[in-house]
């Protein structure tokens, strides 16, 4: 029994040494993989998050500071067209779930930055952002990027704002 324990420890230690020794020589992409895997492997905090609750997170992605002014109806109309073409198969603008959550009230429960990062960077959002992790855990489908431009993404946000102002 003692020998088995010693063997296990020895195996573990040599395994770790091996990983450590291989790490730096493998280049950047491997360490990136390691860091994206980490949050998914630790869902303990995610379990406490209600994905329907309000969050102040700005999410993970290129949008860190979105300035809002009064709702622009023409921009919102353009957003509606993009939404119907690229998002409507999975989302309704009511509180009813299809594949993904109903998007009524989304501008009340999320920051504009979070919404735009979710639209342009959904895979990383669901891997790293606590709200994104909770959404994925609830809906069990990974949203994918729908090839929308940054401008179209901003138009969709305007459409969401208009929908929530009614
Ligand atoms: C293949 C189905 C699918 C498509 C297409 C899709 N989504 Fe999603 N979306 C989901 C799912 C599933 C979730 C929740 C789980 C997740 O985040 O992956 C989600 C989550 C979201 C959220 C977060 C909602 C909340 O309550 O916080 C927003 C916002 C969103 N999607 C917007 C969009 C927009 C805008 C488009 C079009 C550019 C789009 N989605 C296209 C499936 C989809």
CB 95 within 8 A of CB 104: yes
**pLDDT tens digit sequence for 102-140:** 999 999 999 999 999 999 999 999 999 999 999 999 999
CB atoms within 10 A of CB 144: 9
Q: Is 141 in the pocket of ligand 1 (CB under 6 A)?
A: yes
pLDDT tier, 48 (very low <50, low <70, confident <90, very high otherwise):
confident
**pLDDT tens digit sequence for 3-45:** 555 544 545 444 444 444 444 444 444 444 444 444 554 444 5
In whole angstroms, how large is the CA radius of gyration of the chain? 21
CA 102 – CA 59 distance, rounded (Å): 19
Q: Is 135 in the pocket of ligand 1 (CB under 6 A)?
A: yes
CA 6 – CA 103 distance, rounded (Å): 56
Q: Is 80 in the pocket of ligand 1 (CB under 6 A)?
A: no
Better pLDDT: 57 or 1? 57
CA-wise closest residue to 132 among 111, 149, 155: 111
Q: Is 112 in the pocket of ligand 1 (CB under 6 A)?
A: no
- Which of 40-75 are b and which e, b meaning 16 or more Cβ less than 10 Å from the residue's Cβ? eeeeeebeebebeeebebbbbbebeeeeeeeeeeeb
Phi-psi region of 149 (alpha: psi -120 to 50; beta: other; left: phi over 0): beta
CB 157 within 8 A of CB 112: yes
CB 57 within 8 A of CB 116: no
User: Looking at residue 64, what is its pLDDT?
Assistant: 98
- Which atom of ligand 1 is nearest the CA belonging to 142? 18
């Amino acid at each position: 029994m003692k020998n088995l324990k010693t063997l296990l420890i020895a195996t573990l230690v040599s395994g770790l040494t091996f990983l450590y020794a291989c790490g730096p020589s493998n280049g950047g992409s491997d360490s990136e993989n390691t860091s994206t895997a980490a949050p998914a492997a630790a869902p303990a905090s995610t379990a406490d998050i209600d994905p329907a609750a309000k969050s102040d997170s700005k999410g993970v992605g290129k949008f860190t500071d979105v300035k809002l002014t009064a709702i622009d109806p023409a921009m919102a109309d353009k957003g509606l067209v993009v939404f119907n073409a690229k998002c409507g198969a999975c989302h309704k603008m009511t509180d009813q779930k299809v594949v993904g959550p109903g998007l009524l009230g989304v501008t009340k429960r999320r920051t504009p930055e979070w919404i735009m990062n979710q639209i342009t960077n959904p895979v990383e959002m669901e891997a790293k952002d606590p709200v994104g992790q909770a959404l994925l855990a609830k809906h069990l489908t990974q949203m994918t990027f729908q090839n929308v431009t940054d401008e179209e993404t901003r138009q969709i946000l305007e459409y969401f704002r208009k929908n929530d102002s009614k």
